[in-house]
Amino acid sequence: MENLQKSYFRGPQTEPLLQQTIGNLFDQTVRQFPDQEALISRHQSIRWSYREYQQQIEKFATGLLAIGINKGDRVGIWAPNGYEWCLTQFATAKIGAIMVCINPAYRLYELEYALNKVECKAIVTAECFKSSQYLEMLQTLAPELEKSQPGNLRSEKLPHLRSVIRMGEKTTPGMYNFSEVICLGGPTEFQQLQELKTELLPSDPINIQFTSGTTGNPKGATLTHINILNNGKIVGDGMHLAAGDKLCIPVPLYHCFGMVMGNLACITHGAAAVFPGEAFDPLSTLSTVAEERCTALHGVPTMFISELEHPQFKDFDLSSLRTGIMAGAPCPIEVMKKVRQDMHMAEVLIAYGQTETSPVNHMTAVDDPIEKRVSTVGKAGPHLEIQLLDEQGAIVPIGEKGEICCRGYSVMQGYWNDDEKTAKTIDGDGWLHSGDLGVMDADGYVQVVGRLKDMIIRGGENIYPREVEEFLFTHPKIQDVQVFGVKDERFGEQVCAWIQAHHGESLTEQEVQHFCQGKIAHFKVPHYIRFVDAYPMTVTGKIQKFKMREMMEQALNLDS
C-alpha cells in the first residue's frame, strides 16, 4: 500500500452491507442452522437451539403486541445478563419497537431521567441486582403502581410509562410477569408479526443506548438495524466466527459490547452465545469456557487480568479458545501477550469505537503483524472512513496527533430528541467527532493516545466528570467540585474529586461517599476525595484538571 500523506484511511468496500432487519436476518439463520445451539445461559439452566430460540422470541414478541406495544414504541430493559434480556432484544426488533438499554447500576435520578427522556411506554425489569432493588425503585418513582391494572399505569413522575414487565416468579401489584406476557399472544398477534416482516425497514431506529454527556445528563444514541446488525456481522467476520463456534459473553448486554459484538455477532454467523452468569465473575467465566469448550471469549482488559490472576486459573483447560475481543479500555501490551499465550487466544483482537458508532470502527485483524495487534487498535472497518483532525478541523499529517473522526454506515442516527447535541457530535459532512486523540501510521493503523474530553474509563465503564460534578453540586455543603480520573492498576482509572466546601462548612470523605451511595451508579462514586481551598488555573481562569491529576497521582505515589 502506498504511504498515506495525511491521516485518512478508508476501510474495504468489497463485501456489501446487509440491507435487512434484525428479525429477518435471525429467521434466515434459523433456516440455515435450526438445530445448532444458539443460546446457553448457564446460571439459568437454559440451552436452546436456533429453532427453540426463535419460538421463544416470537412468543414474547406477540405478547408485547398483545399488551399494546407497537412499532416505534420505546421499551426499556433494565436487567443483568440472562435469557430474558436476549428475548427482549430480538422480540422488540421483530415488532419494530425501540429497545432502550438502561444501565443495571442506575439509581433513582438516572432511571427517572432515562425513562422520561425517551418516553418509554414499557420497561422490562429484573427484581433486583446486587445492591439495587429495581422494583422498589420503580415503586418509589411510580407509587401509583400499587393501585394500577398491569398495562394501565398513570404515573405523575413517569407520565409515558404504561407497562412494567417484571422477571421472576413472584407477583407485584400493577406489573405483568415476564412468563405471563410470553403466553398472551394469540392468532391475531402472530398474523401481525408475519405482516411486520415486510413492513419494517432496515433503516428504522431499533435501539437507544445511553451514553453519558460532558454536559451532565446521559444522551440516547439512536441506532438502526443497519447500524448494529452490520457492526455485529463485521466483528464476527473479523473473529472468523462460524456455525458451531461458542462465544462466551461475560460483558454486560446493556452495552454494545454484549448486545452487538456478542449477540449480533453470533446470530449473523450461526454461533452460540454463552452467558456464564448475570454479571462478570472470573471463576464462572473460566469454568464456562472450560466446560462448554468455548472457542471465543470477550472482555475488557480488567476482566482478562482477573481471569489470568485467579488462583484457580491453572485448573481450567482453556485449549478450546481461539479468538475473542478485548475492548472498552486501553489494552496493556503485557496482558495481550498473556491472553494469547496462557489462554490459547492466538487470534484475540482489539476493537475500538464509541456507542455512537454502533460501537466498533477500528479492529485489528488475525493476520496483522504481532506488534500492530498488541500496540494499536487496528484499521478502519469495512465501509468506514477515518480521519484525524487538528483543532482547526484540518487533517493532520501521518504520525501526528489528531481527533479521531468516523463516517459511514455505523454512525448513529443522532441523539434521541436532541438535535443540538447531535449537531455538536456529527458535523455537516457526516463525520462523527469522537473526542479521542489518535495517531495514524503510514499503513492506516491507529493508536489511541488520549482524550480531548476528560472522560474517565474505569474498568470499561465511561464516566463523564461533569455528570458526577453536577450531582455533587446538589450537596448543601459543597460550593465547587472538580472531578477527574487518576491512574489505577486494576481498573485503568479511578474517580477523584477535589471539593471546595461552603465557607464555614466542614465535610468528610465518608459524608461525601455516603451522599452518593444509592443515588448514582457505584462506579461513579469518587474513590479519592480531597478538600481544597483553590484549584490550579490558567491566567484566564480556566481550571487545569491535568495539573490536578499530576498532583494527585504524585501524592498517591501512583507513578511507582
Q: Read off the pLDDT of residues 19-36 as tens digits, 9 standing for 90 and up.
A: 999 999 999 999 999 999
Q: Summarize the confidence of residues 409-423 as an average pLDDT.
A: 96
Average pLDDT over the chain reads 94
What predicted TM-score, i.e. pTM, was given to this entire model? 0.86
Average pLDDT over residues 242-263: 97
pLDDT value at 540 more than 70: no
Phi, psi of 360 (to 5 degrees): -90, 125
Check pLDDT > 60 for residue 213.
no
Residue 215 scores a pLDDT above 60: no
Q: What is the distance between the alpha carbons of residues 76 and 251, in angstroms, rounded to a whole number?
A: 19
Q: Are 88 and 99 in contact (CB under 8 A)?
A: yes
Q: Tens of pLDDT along 274-300?
A: 999 999 999 999 999 999 999 999 998
**pLDDT at site 560:** 62
pLDDT, one tens digit per residue, over 43-66 is 999 999 999 999 999 999 999 999
Instruction: Give the domain ranges of the chain.
Output: 22-34+44-218, 456-555
Please give the Cα distance from 23 to 196 (Å, whole number): 10
Indicate if the pLDDT at residue 3 is higher than 60: no
Round to whole Å and give the CA distance between 175 and 145: 7
Q: What is the mean pLDDT of the segment spanning 385-403?
A: 95
Model pLDDT for residues 264-278, shown as the tens digit of each residue: 999 999 999 999 999
Q: Name the grid cell of 152.
A: 394501565
Q: What's the rounded mean pLDDT across residues 399-424?
A: 96
pLDDT in tens, 127-155: 999 989 999 999 999 999 999 999 999 99
Among the residue ranges 5-14, 298-307, 364-373, 466-475, the one predicted with the least confidence is: 466-475
The predicted structure's pLDDT at residue 200: 98
- CA dist 144 and 197 (Å) reads 37
pLDDT for 542 equals: 63
State yes or no: pLDDT of 538 exceeds 70: no
> How many angstroms separate the CA atoms of 246 and 402, rounded?
38
pLDDT of residue 541 exceeding 70: no
pLDDT higher than 90, residue 463: no
C-alpha cell recorded at residue 315: 485448573
102 forms beta bridges with: none
pLDDT at 551: 95
What span, in angstroms and rounded, lies between the C-alpha atoms of 119 and 159? 8
pLDDT digit string, tens, across residues 357-377: 999 999 999 999 988 988 899
Q: What's the whole-number mean pLDDT along residues 243-263?
A: 97
Three-state SS for 281-305 is: CHHHHHHHHHHHCCCEECECHHHHH
The domain made up of 456-555 has a fold known as: GMP Synthetase; Chain A, domain 3 (3.30.300)
**Statement: 22-34+44-218 belongs to CATH 3.90.850.10:** no
Angle between helices 187-199 and 22-32 (to 10 degrees): 100
> Phi/psi of residue 156, each to 5°?
-70, -45
Q: Which are the contacts of 198, defined by CB distance < 8 A and separation ≥ 6?
A: none
Looking up cell 482489539, which residue turns up? 350
Distance CA 143, CA 152 (A): 13
- The partner residues of 9 in beta bridges, in order of sequence, read 386
Does residue 243 have a pLDDT over 50?
Answer: yes
pLDDT for 214: 39
pLDDT tens by residue, 148-205: 999 999 999 999 999 999 999 999 999 999 999 999 999 999 999 999 999 999 999 9
Instruction: Supply the pLDDT for residue 334.
Output: 79
In the predicted model, is pLDDT for residue 255 greater than 80?
yes
Residue 391 has pLDDT above 90, yes or no: no
